Structure 1
Amino acid sequence: MAHPGAATSAPSDSEFDIVIVGAGFAGLYMLHRARGLGLKARAFEVADGVGGTWHWNRYPGARCDVESMQYSYQFDESLQQEWEWSERYSGQPEILRYANHVADRFDLRRDIQFETRVESAHFNEEAAFWTVTTSGGEVVTAQFVIMATGCLSSTNTPDISGIEHFTGDIHHTGQWPHEGVDFSGKRVGVIGTGSSGIQAIPIIAEESEHLTVFQRTAQYAIPAANRPLPPNEQAEVKAHYAEFRADNSLYPNAFSLRLPLNETSALEVSADERTREYETRWREGGFTFSWSFGDLGLDLEANATAGDFVRSKIREIVNDPKTAERLSPNTVLGCKRLCLDTGYFEAFNRKNVELVDISEQKIDRITPKGIETAGREYELDMIVFATGFDAMTGSLLAMDIRGRGGLSLREKWAAGPRTYLGLGVPGFPNLFTISGPGSPSVLTNMIVSIEQHVNWIADCIDAMSRRGHRTIEATLDAEEHWVEHVNAVADETLYPSCNSWYLGANIPGKARVFMPLLGFPPYVEKCEEVAANGYEGFTLG
C-alpha cells in the first residue's frame, strides 16, 4: 500500500516540464528544486514509498558506511539542524525514516506517483519533448527527463541451474521483505560476501539454526566501530555545520574521516611504525584505515603491507586456521569497495556457521533441498542471495530509452557506458542522469554528489529558460574527451586492477569499463567551468 497521501493514479494533466524517474534521495531533491523553479514536475517511483535503495535494502544489519552527520542533505539549514541521528553509522530503518521525514516536510508526495515503473522514454525530435510510458499504460510528455534511478538499484541474481525447483524460501538482500524474515530454526545458505553479505551474516548466524556461507571471493573488511552518537557530539558539528560541509566537499570522496590522511609512503617507515599506524586506524574503525598511508591506492608494494595487516587480523580473530585462510583476501586492498563490518569474522567462530569456498568449484546447481557444489549437497530451508547489483547502468538499461533517430541507450552503450560529465549522453537531448557513469558517484558520499548534480541540472534548466533555449545535448567530441579523462584518472591508481562492480565485472556479458570518476573537488570545478563557459561541450537549441 502506498504511503498516505501518495498519488496512486495518473494525474489528469499529462504534460509536464520535467519527469523524474525515481524517488530516492536524488529524486526527492530534484523534485524540490524543480518546484522551486516553478516547473511542473512528476516523479515516478516503482516502490510504494520513498527512499530508493533504503526502501528496498531492509536485510538484517543494513547500514550506511558514511557517518550519519555527513550522510544527509545540506540544502536546508533547518532540516539539518532539526534531525537527530542515533548512531555513528545509521542503520537502514533510521535512514528510511529520514527520507520519509524529508518527503513530508517539503510535501513532496503529492507529485510522486508510486507503484509505477517507467517502461519507456522516447524523444520526439520535431516537437523537442520526451514521451514517457509507464507500467500502468499512462503516457505523459515532458521537456526534460531526469534519471534519478540510483547506482545500486537493479539487483543481480546469478543464473544458477535448478533455482526454480528449490522448495524453501529465497530472498535477495536488495529486495528484502518489508515484514522481515524469521530465521529461527532454519538452515540458511547465504551466497555472496560483499558489503550486504558481510553486514547480514553475523545477524543471520545469531538467529538461525545453521548458516552456510558460500564465498567466491574473500573480502577486506574493516571494523565499523559503530556506537551511539551522543547529543553533545551532534551539537558540536551543528554549531558550524556549513563550515563542516564545505570542508568535507574538499576531500576526494566528499567526506572527511576522524583521522587525517597520512601522506607518508608505507614503504618509507619501519615495519613497527607501519603496524602501529594500521593498528590505530583499525581500532578507530571506518574508512580511515585506507588513509593509513598516502600510497596505498597507488603502489602495489605499499598496498600489500595493508593487505598483510588485515590478513593478520583475520588470523587473530578466526579460531580455525583453515577458515581464516579461506576468509583472507588476496586481491588489492581497495580495488573493490572496502567493507565495514560488525562481528563478521567473529561469526565464523560459531559452531553453527560453515564457510564453503566456491572460488574454484562453483555452485553446480540448486536442488529442491538445497545447494550442490563439488559433489556435496548442502540441505537448506532458505537461500539468501547477497549478490549485489547491476551497478550504475542496470536500471537505466531496463527501460526502453530512445533518443534522436530512434537510437536506444542500450545500443549506444553496447560497448560500455559513455557520457559527458556523467550528466548527459550525445543523441539524447534534455535527458540528464543524476550520479551517472563518468561522475564520482559511488566513490563519494552519495548525497553530496546527488546534491551537486541536482543543483547543476536545476541551474542549467533555469539558464536555458532565461536564454530561450529548448534543448541541450552533449557533443560526441566532449563525450570522447571525457571518457578518456575518466579512464586516465583511474589508470593512475590501483582501482582497475581487479574484477569489481566498478567495472561491471559482477554481471556476465557486461562490457568492462571503469564507470565512476575518482576525485570530487576537480569534478565540481569542471562542472562549474562548463556552466560558466555557456555549457561548453553541450549544444543548445
Structure 2
Amino acid sequence: MAQDGPEQFDVVVIGAGFSGLYAIHRLRQQHSVVCFETGDGVGGTWYWNRYPGARVDIISVEYSYGFDEALQQEWRWPEYFSAQPALEEYANHVADRFDLRKHIRFSNPVTRMRFDGKTNRWHVHTANGDHVEARWVIAATGALHAPNEPAWPGRELFQGQVLHTTQWPREGMDLTGKRVALIGTGSTGVQATPIIAEQAAHLHLFQRTPAYSMPSGNRPLDPEFEADWKANYAERRQQMLQTWGVSLIDYPTYSALDCTPEQQNEILEKAWRSKNAFQLLTAFSDVMVNPAANNVVAEFARNKIRGIVKDPKTAELLCPTYPIGAKRLGNDKGYYEAFNRDNVTLVDAKSAPIVAFTAKGLRTTEAEYEFDVIILATGFDAVTGAMSRIAIEGVDGQTVAERWRDGPTTYLGAMIAGMPNLFMIHGPLTPAAQAQMITAGEWQINWTADIIEDLESRGVARIDTTPEAEQWWAQQVDAAAAMTVHNLADSWYNAKNIEGKKGGFMIYIGGFPEYTRACTEAVAGGYRGFVLTPEPATAPA
C-alpha cells in the first residue's frame, strides 16, 4: 500500500563513511534516523578508494573509533598503517556489530533538499525516489568524495580503458603486459605507482606538480605495541584530542635554526626513518610557520630524492620547489625507487600539458602516447564538492552551490547561514583532513548531537547562523592560514586544484584544540553566533 506524503524521521544522515556510521549510532538512541549512501557498502573513503596501494597514513590504533571500549579491545589491526581492505573490513564490522545497516539505504544518493520554513523541516529527495521529511540533517558527505575528472576532449575516442582511481573494480585489475598511463602525483599517485610499475609492461606517470613523500615505515603491528595501546586507550584518546592534529606525534619546542647542520641532519634522519608519515613536518617547532626552517626540511627531502633516483634529470623533475607540507605530505613504499625501473617513464605535464585523449592514448603539447589503460589519479573536488553537487535549498530559496559560488562560507565549519538545522561533519573551514578524521569526527558528532538534544529539551524548533558569524569565522580561518606556509602552494586545501573554482583556504589549521574550544565556547556562551527559533506556541484547548 502506497504511503501518503513523505516518510517521517527525526534525523537524516547523508553518507555511511566513518562519521556517518557513528552519527547513526549516537543519534538513533533518542531519535528515528535514516541514512542515505551513494555506494552499496559502508566505509566512505575506504569503500571508494580500492586502487593499488591505498593505505591510511595515520597509525591504525589511532585511526579508529573510541566510543566503545569493547570494540577497541576486540579489534586487531594487522599493520601499523592499515591497507584499504582492512579499513573497509573494520567499517563493515562496526556496521554489523552495532546493527547500523537497518538504518542505511544503499546505492541511493541524496539529489536535492528543501527547507520548509513553515514546518521547520527538511524535505530530502534521493535518486531512488525516496522523499523523507526530517527536523535535522547531518551531512557526513566527506571532504574527499567528489572525484575530479579532467575535461580533456576526445575521451569517447579512446579505444582502451579509462577510469578514475575511485572507480577501481572490487575484483581488481590485471595490468600485466599493459601500457599504462597514471595521471597525478597526489597521495593516490604516490601510493599506486610502485605497485602498478611491478605489473605493467610500461608505466608513464604524468606529473604536473611533484610531491614530497617519505617512507611509510609500515610493518606488521607489534603485539606489545598493540597491548600497550589497548591498556591505555582512554588516556591516549584524551591526549589525542589535545594535540594539534589529533595524533600522538612528537611536537618539539626547538627551532630548526637553533640547531647546527649536523644536528638538523640527525633529527631529520630520525624523522625519515620513523613510523609516522608526518614526523618530518614536526621535526622542529617552526617547520610550517618559518620559510627558512621549512627550507631546511624541504632541502633534506629533496636530497633524499636525489640520492634515491639514479637519473639526475628525472630526480630534479621529482624535486618539489614549494614548501614541504604546503600540500599534503605523501607516504609510500618505493615511490621514488620506481623511477629507477626500465619500464617507468616520468612525463613532465607542467611544461607539456595533456590536451586531449586520442583513439590510441593521450596527446600533449609536445607528443602523442599510446596506452591500453589510462588511470586518473586526479583527486577530488575537495571539501565543498560533495555538498555543492546536491541541490540544497534554504530558507531564502538560495542553494548551497549558489551561496558558495565565490568560496565556502560556514560558521565553525558546522552550519551555513540560511540552511537551518543542517549540520556538517568535517565541513568547509573545519580541521578536516588536517586532523585525524575518525576521532575528530566523533567529537564533532557528539557536539552536534548534544546541541540537538539540548535544543529539543528547550523547545527550540530551528537553529541557524548569520552571515556576520560566518564572516567572523572566515577571519579566524584566514588568520590561522596566514601564519603558515600553506598559502605558498596551490592545492586542494585552497581550491586551486580545480580550474575555475573560487575560494580561499578551506581548512582550519589553528589546531584541533583551538577548534573545539571555539565550538564549545560558542554553545556555552548562549549559542553565540547562532540564531534560535522556538517552537510556535500551542493554543490551549
1:5 corresponding residue in structure 2: none
1:242-391 maps to which residues of 2 (within 5 A)? 242-257=234-249, 260-285=250-275, 286-391=277-382
- Quick check: 1:204 aligned with 2:196? yes
- Quick check: 1:20 aligned with 2:20? no
User: CA contact under 8 A between 1:10 and 1:138: conserved in structure 2?
Assistant: no
1:403 corresponding residue in structure 2: 394
CA distance, structure 2, for counterparts of residue 12 and residue 124 of structure 1 = 14
CA distance, structure 1, for counterparts of residue 166 and residue 202 of structure 2 = 22
CA distance, structure 1, for counterparts of residue 7 and residue 307 of structure 2 = 62
CA distance, structure 1, for counterparts of residue 212 and residue 395 of structure 2 = 45
CA distance, structure 2, for counterparts of residue 13 and residue 429 of structure 1 = 20
Task: Quote how far apart the aligned CAs of 1:263 are.
Answer: 2.1
Task: Quote how far apart the aligned CAs of 1:26 are.
Answer: 1.1
Task: Quote how far apart the aligned CAs of 1:161 are.
Answer: 1.9
CA distance, structure 2, for counterparts of residue 13 and residue 477 of structure 1 = 35
Say which of 523, 532, 538 aligns to 1:531: 523
Which one is further off, 184-193 or 362-371?
362-371
CA distance, structure 2, for counterparts of residue 364 and residue 114 of structure 1 = 37
Task: Quote how far apart the aligned CAs of 1:12 are.
Answer: 10
Q: Which runs of structure 1 show a deviation greater than 4 angstroms over 4 or more consecutive aligned residues?
A: 9-13
1:64 corresponding residue in structure 2: 56
Task: Quote how far apart the aligned CAs of 1:185 are.
Answer: 0.9
Task: Quote how far apart the aligned CAs of 1:261 are.
Answer: 2.0
Task: Give the letter aligned to residue 302 of structure 2.
Answer: R
User: CA contact under 8 A between 1:10 and 1:113: conserved in structure 2?
Assistant: no
CA distance, structure 1, for counterparts of residue 348 and residue 429 of structure 2 = 34
CA distance, structure 2, for counterparts of residue 474 and residue 153 of structure 1 = 26
Task: Quote how far apart the aligned CAs of 1:332 are.
Answer: 0.9
- TM-score w.r.t. length of structure 1: 0.96
- Quick check: 1:505 aligned with 2:496? yes
Task: Give the letter aligned to residue 18 of structure 2.
Answer: F
CA-to-aligned-CA distance 1:434-486 (integer Å, 9 cap, x gap): 11111111100011111111001100110011101111001222111111111
1:31 corresponding residue in structure 2: 24
Task: Quote how far apart the aligned CAs of 1:13 are.
Answer: 7.2
User: CA contact under 8 A between 1:215 and 1:356: conserved in structure 2?
Assistant: yes
CA distance, structure 2, for counterparts of residue 13 and residue 129 of structure 1 = 12
User: CA contact under 8 A between 2:46 and 2:84: conserved in structure 1?
Assistant: yes
User: CA contact under 8 A between 1:174 and 1:388: conserved in structure 2?
Assistant: no
1:473 corresponding residue in structure 2: 464
Say which of 202, 206, 219 aligns to 2:211: 219
Say which of 33, 39, 44 aligns to 2:36: 44
2:444 corresponding residue in structure 1: 453
User: SS of the counterpart of 2:198?
Assistant: helix
Task: Quote how far apart the aligned CAs of 1:335 are.
Answer: 0.5
User: CA contact under 8 A between 1:86 and 1:230: conserved in structure 2?
Assistant: no
Which one is further off, 412-421 or 372-381?
372-381
User: SS of the counterpart of 2:28?
Assistant: helix
CA-to-aligned-CA distance 1:371-425 (integer Å, 9 cap, x gap): 1224321111000000100001101010100101211111111110010010011
User: SS of the counterpart of 1:190?
Assistant: strand
Task: Give the letter aligned to residue 11 of structure 2.
Answer: I
CA distance, structure 2, for counterparts of residue 110 and residue 417 of structure 1 = 34
1:3 corresponding residue in structure 2: none
CA-to-aligned-CA distance 1:36-88 (integer Å, 9 cap, x gap): 1x201100001001111110100000000111010001011111111000101
CA distance, structure 2, for counterparts of residue 166 and residue 365 of structure 1 = 10
List alignment gaps of at least 5 residues for structure 2.
534-541
Over the aligned positions, Cα root-mean-square deviation in angstroms equals 1.4
CA distance, structure 2, for counterparts of residue 16 and residue 172 of structure 1 = 36
Say which of 419, 431, 436 aligns to 2:422: 431
User: CA contact under 8 A between 2:494 and 2:505: conserved in structure 1?
Assistant: yes
CA distance, structure 1, for counterparts of residue 156 and residue 253 of structure 2 = 52
CA distance, structure 1, for counterparts of residue 488 and residue 411 of structure 2 = 24
Task: Give the letter aligned to residue 20 of structure 2.
Answer: G
Task: Quote how far apart the aligned CAs of 1:337 are.
Answer: 0.5
User: SS of the counterpart of 2:456?
Assistant: helix
1:6 corresponding residue in structure 2: none
CA distance, structure 2, for counterparts of residue 447 and residue 467 of structure 1 = 30
1:142 corresponding residue in structure 2: 134
- Quick check: 1:73 aligned with 2:74? no
CA-to-aligned-CA distance 1:109-128 (integer Å, 9 cap, x gap): 00100010111010001111
Task: Quote how far apart the aligned CAs of 1:137 are.
Answer: 1.8
CA-to-aligned-CA distance 1:92-122 (integer Å, 9 cap, x gap): 0000000000000000000100010111010
User: SS of the counterpart of 1:193?
Assistant: coil
User: SS of the counterpart of 2:504?
Assistant: coil
CA distance, structure 2, for counterparts of residue 407 and residue 379 of structure 1 = 46
Task: Quote how far apart the aligned CAs of 1:262 are.
Answer: 2.5
Say which of 486, 496, 499 aligns to 2:487: 496
CA distance, structure 2, for counterparts of residue 135 and residue 291 of structure 1 = 45
CA distance, structure 2, for counterparts of residue 230 and residue 299 of structure 1 = 36
Task: Quote how far apart the aligned CAs of 1:525 are.
Answer: 1.3
2:513 corresponding residue in structure 1: 521
- Quick check: 1:189 aligned with 2:181? yes
Which one is further off, 104-113 or 13-22?
13-22
Percent identity between the two aligned chains:
47
List alignment gaps of at least 5 residues for structure 1.
1-8
- Matched positions, count: 530
2:454 corresponding residue in structure 1: 463
User: SS of the counterpart of 2:340?
Assistant: coil
Task: Give the letter aligned to residue 314 of structure 1.
Answer: I
CA distance, structure 1, for counterparts of residue 273 and residue 58 of structure 2 = 17
Say which of 73, 78, 81 aligns to 1:86: 78
1:110-149 maps to which residues of 2 (within 5 A)? 110-149=102-141
Task: Give the letter aligned to residue 411 of structure 1.
Answer: E
